[in-house]
Amino acid sequence: MTTRRIKIIGGGLAGPEAALQAAKRGCEVDLYEMRPTRSTEAHQTSDFAELVCSNSLKSESENSAPWLLKQEMRRAGSILLAEADATAVPAGHALAVDRVEFSKRVAERIAAEPRIRVHREEVTKLDEQAPDTVTILASGPLTSPALAAELQRLTGSDHLAFYDSISPIVDATTIDMSKVYFAARYDKGTADYINCPFTKEEYERFMEALTTAEAVESKDWEKFPVTGTPEKLQYFEGCLPIEETARRGRDTLRFGPMKPVGLTDPKTGRWPYAVVQLRQENLRADSYNLVGFQNHLKYGEQNRVLKLIPGLENATFLRYGQIHRNTYIHAPSLLTETLQLKAHPHIMIAGQLSGVEGYTESIASGMLAGIYAAAIANGVAPPTAPRLSANGSLTHYITHAETKKFQPANITFDLLPPLEEDLRKKIRDKKERHKIQCDRALAAWNEWLGSSL
């Protein structure tokens, strides 16, 4: 019988998933979200599960690492992932969603759950002396200064911070379709992406404009949330602003977000020199986001530079790129594998604040936190996710990473236990090795589900 209530702070992705998982297991849950009472620098609404950056939950290609993570989540009954599947928009091999419908459906699931009470207020205190409550802190990368200061008081360690960026969105009706084409890379899957092809001359002109464009001046919020000390911007390598990537070399973009390989232009029968891809933003297909084009440029500069992209010369941008602070704890020194604070086990950290990076990873973290919190509330030792699984490996990374080099992580095969050396030598094909890792992960995950949940 449940003896403790569960208090969840944060209405992004991890918080609602944790709340729904705990409620499904018979727990009484209080879910706190400070918006709209207090907003953040990046959110545009007060909706649950708002997708701030892109609308993609990454690859659905079989035997890829993101696919594996989602397969495990589906088998465990992830509620937010089910809503993502229900609101999917065409995106080739990726799972992308209509972000408005997705948030709406998540809100409906929360409202329909009688065990969840929603509180629209800012939480500024964490009570480590509350044995009758299990608290999950899932307040995300834009945790309010007051709550961040409280977490610092509780953990006794400094926050680490880096800066994350948001991609622009363009009105679909203003794209010059005579200059672009639909294609899937190497013609695999459906041709859901709009491709804007560059000649070498167009690429050089674009690069010159991009690398000399004026950046946004630092604002007061671009500081560490507790100390208020201005710092050099520390970008996450997996989500660099496009202008930062461009400054690393003239061809860096052509081997990164603007790579043309496998995208044959039907007009020429060849790959273009470079390409910008546009991904459908919603079910109506009336807007598209510029894949990988997060940036930190002034809006006027973005308007000038982005209109150098073939097909976007007369485009209307519904949203320009932005940058926002992303804060996370030093998980290797603070968290157990069940996402509990080592010094205060009745307080848990989930989502991006824990050091996972990405929408899917945040939902997965919330899913595990909800499962673990329900066990704790019922006086049972939490069932740790198996190391062989993608979920277990992601949690293992954030709680066991080398402390001096700890950075947030997306799910990759590098996080999973490697195959035996003799097997790696025997099997040269990387796809076959990945399939073996996925098969092992799913087998371990199924066994865990059968014995623990």
DSSP secondary structure string for all residues of 203-241? HHHHHHHHHHSPBPPP-TTSB-TTT--B----B-GGG--
Contacting residues for 19 by C-beta, under 8 A, at least 6 apart: 6, 8, 29, 31, 110, 113, 116, 370
Contact criterion met (CB below 8 Å) for 110 and 83: no
277, two tokens: 């891809």
Closest CA to 138 of 40, 21, 17: 17
DSSP three-state, residue 302: helix
Peptide bond into 417 cis (omega under 30): no
Residue 12 labeled ligand binder: yes
> Cα separation of 101 and 225, whole Å?
32
* DSSP-derived secondary structure letter, 296: -
Residue 15 labeled ligand binder: yes
Residue 14 labeled ligand binder: yes
3-state secondary structure 440-453: HHHHHHHHHHHHHC
| 136: phi then psi, degrees, rounded to nearest 5 | -110, 115
Residue 233 labeled ligand binder: no
CA 103, 296, 60, 51: dihedral to nearest 10 degrees?
-10
What angle, rounded to 10 degrees, do the helices at 430-452 and 65-76 form? 20
> Cα separation of 446 and 438, whole Å?
12
Residue 269 labeled ligand binder: no
Closest CA to 326 of 348, 358, 299, 297: 358
> Cα separation of 78 and 82, whole Å?
6
Residue 366 labeled ligand binder: no
* DSSP-derived secondary structure letter, 37: T
| Annotation: binding site | 10-15
| Annotation: binding site for FAD | 10-15
